Structure 1
Amino acid sequence: MNIDITNYLRLDLVDVILVCISTLIICLVAKHFFWDVILDYFDARHKAIADDIAAGEQARKDGEEYKVQYETQLASARGEAHAILEGAAKNANEERKEVLAKAREEAENLKQKALADIEREKVQAQKEMKQTITDVAFEAAEKIIKKELDEKDQQRYVDDFIEHAGDDTWQA
């Protein structure tokens, strides 16, 4: 199967004339039956394009008006934001001062409470220490004298001992 490409690339005057005649017939048939429809379509299309252009122009004008309004609102919003920030900074400083004052007051209260607790604990420890010394003294006294004193006398001796323990009178 040999294909010769020269047959497909040839230009023949008869073929050109036949193509022109068939094109002319197609155009005449189209003009007779479809020309009004085609013109109506092009008119409608032209009107739609013109309406779109007009709407675009109107949208552009509206956009410019909105832009001016936006810039005006933006300028006023900047002023309001600045005022709000200044007010917030002022409020923050006042709150900071209040919080610091409260914290100092609470710290002082805690310090006073701690000092009171320490004093109570000190007194309690002294009482416990006296009681422990009393118990130790009772046991020592019992072992030393090998007899048990009545509790009232014992308590009196021990209390007297504890009261004077560490005093100058006790050491003399």
Structure 2
Amino acid sequence: MLDSSILVLGAGGFHLNIGDMLASLIIFVVLLALLKKFAWGPLMGIMIEREQHIANEIDTAEKNRSEAERLAKEAQEQIKATRQDAQEIIENAKQTAKSQEQSIITAARQEAERIKESARQEIEQEKDKAIQALQDQVASLSVRIASKVIEKELSEKDQEKLINEYIKEVGEER
């Protein structure tokens, strides 16, 4: 027997109720529509927002990484330039020190030569004074001897004795 509302198969009691099935199907479709509108749509919107947010974060991270690499490269170049500048400053300082060393040595040598020349001149002057003083003493001594000789005529031995005495006197006066 075939009934529009019930389908019975065999002796085991398996019954299909088409009305219940249609009602269940309609409720299921309505439920799916409601889920799509109120749950699936907002859920997908959140997922899309989340996907966009993650994509933006990845882009920002890439930009930041690129910027960090660029800044690191610039810093390396600046460090390199600074090292070169420092090396140039050191080289200039060494050259300046060498030239100052040479000028100091030259000035010291010139001063030493000036002092030696001044000492030579002083020694020469003292020597000239000593010679002049000696000449004056010899002249004075000669005059004394001559006056004594004139006062009395002496023998050669007496003259030698007299000269030796005067030489001793002159030696003691010093």
Structure of higher CA gyration radius: 2
TM bracket (short chain) = 0.3 to 0.5
TM-score by length of 2: 0.42
More strand by share: 2
